[in-house]
A and B are shown apart, each in its own frame.
Chain A
Amino acid sequence: MKTGITSYGFYVPQYRIRVADIANVWGKNASEIERGLGVIEKAVSTAAEDSLTMAYESSSIAMSGHILPIGALFFGTESPVYAVNPSSTILGELLDIGNNYLAYDTQFACKAATGALISAIALVEGNQIQSALVVASDKATGRPHDALEYTAASGSVSIIVGEKKPILSIEAWESFSSDTPDFWRREGIKYPSHGGRFTGKPSYFKHIIGAVKAILSKTKSKPEDFSYAVFHMPNGKFPIQVAAQLGFSSEQIQRSLIVSELGNSYTASALMGLVATLEYVKPGEKILFASYGSGAGSDAFIFTATPELEKKRLLFSKKIQDKKYIDYPTYLKYMRII
């Protein structure tokens, strides 16, 4: 494929809440929760922020220096600001990209944006458009006292797909989908429900393993052919376990494991792991990437870094050190729970 990712941007809100502070509110053993989930703290957006404002932040960075017309803008989220009314067009207006673009919002739990990325690749690859902006943004929340409360976080990642001077060339993609109801939220219901342990083996693991095995087979690749691997991060344990089951080493995934510090920003989670990894990737190195969306499906990609990456590399690790801690009542206020 000639098509690639030509630039990217990310946004991690400044505020953090410690998992221990949430555990203490509910009388839980904080170290057991931290150990069980592999998460120490998570990023929290303020009451003035939502998936759209965060998408604007990450997209502004991605669009910096971008000249070609954006022919498509796809917005993946599971916390849209409107139930009916597209976020993609509001973002397009804020970014001032004119009107001649295809816009739609996508919904598929945590993989809404990677599915849209495949659509964007096809449009660019088929010479229908010159470039596309794909956004993954979530202000994710869990019901107070639900296990999700420890991990559901905020964040946004934007990527531009095009053919001119890609920083990552896209070598291949593969999807694996099935009707697997492991996590859902019905219309009008504020918080999502989930199937507990069912979210593991028959859901996350089955689909990521299915997608990754398919892409390895399609490209005749082996885990050792990759310098890095990135897997969706609902918690700190699953990506480590799925990597081991697929034959990837802990070194290959180490740079992507930002969930322990930032939590799971749902649609943005896997892509956040990718942009964290890009800080260290050298030209010519290959990355295997697999998202996961409940319901369920996984999109796997193989990327190769080009020399252009050096020019557009973002310093992720430094940026996320700019943080302030909040307490539990402030967290509830920021998440608009109270």
Chain B
Amino acid sequence: MKSQIIGYHTTQFGELWEKSLFDLVEETIVGVLKNTNLEIGQVDALFFGNMLGGILENNLHAGAKIADIFGINTPIYRVEGACASGGLAINLVHEYVQSGKGKTVLVVGAEKMTDVQPEFITQGLMSAASGEEQESGITFPGLYALMARVYLDKFKYDRKNLAAVAVKNHAHGLLNPTAHFRKVITIEQALKSSTIAAPLGLLDCSPVSDGAASLIITSDPALIKKKGGVQILSSHVATDSISLLQRDSLIEIKATQIAAEKAFSEAQIKRSDISLAEVHDCFTIAELFAMEDIGFWKKGEAGKRALNYETLKDNNGPLIVNTSGGLKASGHPVGATGIKQVGELYLQLIGKAEKRQIKNIKYGLAHNVGGSGGTAVVTIVGI
């Protein structure tokens, strides 16, 4: 059974002081229904990707809140997988539609992060780490910095190899009207930015953002015929130990490797068939890992190839990465990120990505990670 994306909407990402979590949810659901010319009553189920509503705002039982906003009695499921909540929700929607349980499903991801002080958001995000990591006082920048340190030392790279990722993604973010940061940065600025957790500087880190995004996925042949769209060829989830301490290696994300292998196997395409990947660059080091662990590049190559800007849109290479600006420039409202990644692929594949549009694209891949790699979701779409 086909699982086809027929519509996408995203709110602005950024510091949206005037909007609450459910203002954002409502805005994007209304937006995606408008974009697809559908009524909420035509949706058989909703899936909601969100991580922090319960922790930061005491805001759970989201299904009933969404039902309240729209006056519906549809099944609504909240999905949580830390920063992979959005990707995980898409995976579940894909499975739900494939199983024939429902034909047309709306998946929405949202996060409201800027209403609390930095220490609380940092503490909230650390709920996605192990108890030992929490007790040690380390934070996600610290965990990724540990991995970055090992990677840079092993392959004889320096901070420039990381910073190049941020420079590229900011260049892409400039072209995305809904990105949190629409500003070009230079490698010198990235290297001079304040140290967050050595070797990661401020400009190696994705921001704390508000935002929401949604997709409509259907197996209804009549709707597919009418709306066209983009097919989900495969979507796979893999997990790994939550703690870095239990990992075999600090320079790879095993969950990404497993999910990617399964996704390519099911989609029956090669890595080289992918023209655009939206990968999880929560920190610059994470994009280097993604490129290697998905299997686009060999282990240890990513630092060098990042500095060559091979995946920058303007370089017209065979594989472009993060035209949305990635988490770094587009922003990282965690529950919305995985939805936005697939939404960006959708826009590119239907030729509606405007200034970000890349040519001759047939297949795209989205890669969404939870925590320091405890969860990874890889979704492949095509036309």
Interface residues, chain A, CB within 8 Å of chain B?
Answer: 29, 32, 36, 193-198, 201-202
Contact = CB atoms under 8 A, between A and B. Distances in A.
B6 to A, nearest CB: 36
Given A29-B195, A198-B114, A202-B18, 13 more contacts: A29-B194, A32-B194, A36-B194, A193-B117, A194-B117, A195-B117, A196-B117, A196-B118, A197-B15, A198-B17, A198-B115, A201-B15, A201-B17
B194 A197 contact: no
B297 to A, nearest CB: 34
In the A-B complex, the 9 residue pairs with the smallest Cβ-Cβ separation, listed nearest first, are: A202-B17, A32-B194, A196-B118, A196-B117, A197-B15, A195-B117, A198-B17, A29-B195, A29-B194
Contacts of A201: 15, 17
A130 B135 CA distance: 64
Interface in B77-125: 114-115, 117-118
Nearest to A202: B17
A199 to B, nearest CB: 11
B195 A197 contact: no
A295 B238 CA distance: 47
Contacts of B194: 29, 32, 36
Contacts of A193: 117
The number of chain B residues touching the other chain, given as a range, is: under 10
A32 B201 CA distance: 12
Contacts of B118: 196
A202 B18 CA distance: 9
Interface string B1-43: 0000000000000010110000000000000000000000000
A107 B285 CA distance: 49
Contacts, number: 18
Most buried by A among B15, B17, B114, B115: B17
A202 B17 CA distance: 7
Contacts of A197: 15, 114
The B contact surface, by secondary structure, is loop
Nearest to B208: A197
A193 B117 CA distance: 9
A87 B195 CA distance: 45
Nearest to B192: A32
Contacts of A32: 194
A201 B18 CA distance: 11
Contacts of A29: 194-195
6 contacts: A36-B194, A193-B117, A194-B117, A196-B117, A197-B15, A198-B114
A197 B115 CA distance: 10
A201 B210 CA distance: 15
A62 B37 CA distance: 70
Interface string B183-220: 00000000000110000000000000000000000000
Contacts of B117: 193-196
Nearest to B18: A202
B4 to A, nearest CB: 40
A36 B192 CA distance: 12
A193 B195 CA distance: 25
Interface string B237-253: 00000000000000000
A196 B118 CA distance: 7
A198 B117 CA distance: 9
A196 B121 CA distance: 12
A202 B114 CA distance: 12
Contacts of B18: 202
Contacts of B114: 197-198
A323 to B, nearest CB: 29
Nearest to B117: A196
Contacts of A36: 194
Nearest to B16: A202
Contacts of B15: 197, 201
A151 to B, nearest CB: 17
Nearest to A206: B17
A195 B115 CA distance: 8
Nearest to B118: A196
A196 B117 CA distance: 6
A214 B115 CA distance: 28
Interface in B115-156: 115, 117-118
A29 B193 CA distance: 11
A202 B117 CA distance: 15
Contacts of B17: 198, 201-202
B209 to A, nearest CB: 12
